[in-house]
Structures are given as structure tokens and as C-alpha cells.
């Protein structure tokens, strides 16, 4: 794989520098401690530093899927998974800050949405022009989010436990044995006459 260098700036300069330092630190390590094999031989952070820094940034700061991040950075998904696993402590360290930022965005978005909905309700022409499916989606998402924030289960997973093949085979064998016993008890001896 040849390195795909992201075009332009992919974050604020100080944020890009932070992730480049994380990548450089990992690339400078040796396997097995001091005197071990340099990680450069196998380390994506050493081979593809800019793409690795961008991938770690996207993993930490966005809600993009791993497939999309891998595509944008020129990695296979398995390579991205390895990169994420090797840098898990750094990624986990940033998670609370990211959660706080997205909570703030969610609050602001809810206020804007509420204002737009109030304007929509006040103008019958605008309300009539709004496709019903948009209103239905808004209602469904709102109900789901309200339930999630209230601690109500939004998904119910049912686990069914059935018999194993061994259990079924034993039951069939037991039924055959009962049928055989029953037939033996009801059997009538007869002589075949020619």
C-alpha cells in the first residue's frame, strides 16, 4: 500500500500536531522493549504517519464508520482495527471530551429544531407544504430519543433456548423405545396358516 496523504487540513493545526505526535511516539517504539526489533518494520504509524494520524483523529473525534475512515485514509478495515487497538488508551482518553462536545451539539440542535417546529405550527401554509413523511420521521426519532434519555429500553432482544440436537435425538430414541414396549404389550401371537 502506498501512503494516501490526506489533502489539505483535516483538523485544526494544533489537533493535527497532537495526533502526529501520538503517531511519531508509537513509530519510535521497539517491540520487546529496549534493544528489540523496531516497530518500523511492521508499524503503520511508521510507514504511513499522516494517514495514521488522520485515521486516529477520525476515530476519536467523529462518528464516521470504520469502513468510511478506512476508505478515506487508504487503509483496509483490518489495518484500521489494528491501528485502533494499538492506540486504544489514547482513543479512550479522548472519549469523555468527545461525549461532552456531542452533548452540547445535541442540546443546541434540539433548541433549533424546537424553534423550527414552533414556526411550522404557527404557519398553516408551511405546515401543509411539509411532507408528512418528514413529520413522521421527526416524531419517531423524537420518541426514540426521549425514551433513550429517560432510561426506557428502545430495543428488546429475545433469546430463545431450544433443545440441542443431542437432546432431540435422545427424545426420539425414548419415544421409539416407548412405542416398541407398547407394541410388545399389545402384540397377539398368531400362527400363519397356508
**From residue 110, how far is each of 16, 69, 130, 148 by CA, in Å?**
30, 28, 19, 15
Low-confidence ranges of the chain (pLDDT < 70): 1-8, 30-42, 98, 186-190
Closest by CA to 59, choosing from 26, 21, 85, 39, is 85
In this prediction, residue 45 carries a pLDDT of: 86
| 119-136 pLDDT per residue, tens | 989 999 988 898 989 888
In this prediction, residue 3 carries a pLDDT of: 45
In this prediction, residue 60 carries a pLDDT of: 85
In this prediction, residue 55 carries a pLDDT of: 92
Cα 6 from Cα 51, distance rounded (Å): 7
Beta bridge partners of 30: 38
Residue 116 backbone phi and psi in degrees, to 5? -65, -40
- Name the DSSP letter for residue 74: T
Residues 6+ apart with CB under 8 A from 101: none
Q: Where are the domains of the chain?
A: 13-91, 104-149
Cα 3 from Cα 20, distance rounded (Å): 15
Amino acid at each position: 500500500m502506498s501512503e494516501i496523504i490526506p489533502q489539505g487540513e483535516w483538523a485544526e493545526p494544533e489537533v493535527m500536531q497532537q495526533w502526529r505526535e501520538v503517531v511519531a511516539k508509537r513509530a519510535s517504539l521497539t517491540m520487546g522493549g529496549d534493544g528489540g526489533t523496531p516497530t518500523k518494520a511492521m508499524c503503520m504509524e511508521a510507514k504511513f504517519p499522516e494517514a495514521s494520524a488522520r485515521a486516529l483523529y477520525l476515530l476519536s473525534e467523529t462518528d464516521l464508520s470504520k469502513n468510511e475512515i478506512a476508505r478515506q485514509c487508504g487503509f483496509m478495515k483490518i489495518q484500521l482495527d489494528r491501528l485502533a487497538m494499538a492506540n486504544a488508551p489514547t482513543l479512550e482518553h479522548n472519549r469523555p471530551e468527545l461525549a461532552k462536545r456531542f452533548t452540547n451539539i445535541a442540546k443546541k440542535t434540539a433548541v433549533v429544531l424546537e424553534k423550527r417546529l414552533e414556526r411550522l405550527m404557527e404557519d398553516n401554509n408551511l405546515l401543509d407544504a411539509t411532507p408528512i413523511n418528514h413529520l413522521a420521521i421527526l416524531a419517531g426519532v423524537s420518541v426514540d430519543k426521549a425514551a433513550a434519555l429517560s432510561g426506557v429500553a428502545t430495543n428488546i432482544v429475545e433469546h430463545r433456548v431450544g433443545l440441542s440436537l443431542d437432546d432431540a435425538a435422545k427424545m426420539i430414541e425414548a419415544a421409539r423405545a416407548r412405542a416398541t414396549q407398547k407394541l410388545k404389550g399389545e402384540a397377539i401371537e398368531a400362527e400363519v396358516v397356508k
